[in-house]
Structure 1
């Protein structure tokens, strides 16, 4: 049986405004009874109160190492490379904080790929979900290349690098990164959808209770996340 500690779900919080979404993602994973541990990478810019709140949901909290960002990348780009430095893990599945897990997807972490394939992208190329195999050697190699990127986004460079390293690389099925659609009722199609991407949908917009996915998001947020945010804020202000 695989060690359930060395393969983790991972997300990032780069500002205080990301915290409600990240915690809702966290509790959506717990709701579907994942057997894997949950980790979050937090920017040094995030407040002490927000870090305290995150510790109630996640098993591991890592501070994004700004000093290691020798290529001067934006945090949203650098965080994808920072995962390579987490050598305590064999494999990570990194999810954008604005995603919602609607069914158990532990098979994503169980599936074996070519060990030379450091990054696994989804079929549609959207890096809201990434499978990453930590490696300091790859991290140092990529940071050198990115220092000369001339404005090219990290995703483009990673895909180019990956195609040279592993031409026959595997991809993540689109059911793990289903974009939100007002006309869809994803929860009635569980065979076809496992993770919903609520990209560009902010927390205060999730009030459309007639939509089943948004209703689930709001239920998890209100029942599991809000009590934590309120309790931590109260303790920290006293």
Structure 2
């Protein structure tokens, strides 16, 4: 039997990760693949928490920029994350994985309220826990929610899913010469303004020593490899190596 490298992890999924090749909503085949991988990680004996965004349905910052009240827009974005969380819960339960959705805003008829001790107990029982509605506060991203929840539940690793295989010094989609970093420190990310997570999330991870691994969520199997402790993507931790020495 494979011995898991981590006891407990938190996976950060953007809403866009559920799009697949679509421009809006949830692509069933993508949802099913992600659920398969989460189920596989759960079967390894790793305790799995998930924070999911809502950008595939609604992005609060977008409408706020167009003139909507920011607090109202962010509350709408929180509701979009609940919809994604329920979809992922259904996909996991169809794979016989016990799963709970916990929301930072009260929607008792469709999911549980977020209570830290209850969330930890669910994880200890081997249930996948999906955290919805961000932090429950406007002006905070789901990246910040992922960092906060990872620290609160005592995760050993925060897995950040993106569309590329790690962190680059420029956009690899538009810059063929972009170089990928194997390892970064939190201060490297902040000083170079690298787009790993927002600054609030990075500072919390730095202050609490939460290790981050940035990986390609679009590549089948990458999430499972990361959970097994294999070298996937870019690692962000306290150091000591500098960013300039570590990129390849």
TM-score range, shorter chain: 0.3 to 0.5
TM-score, normalization by structure 1: 0.35
TM-score, normalization by structure 2: 0.34
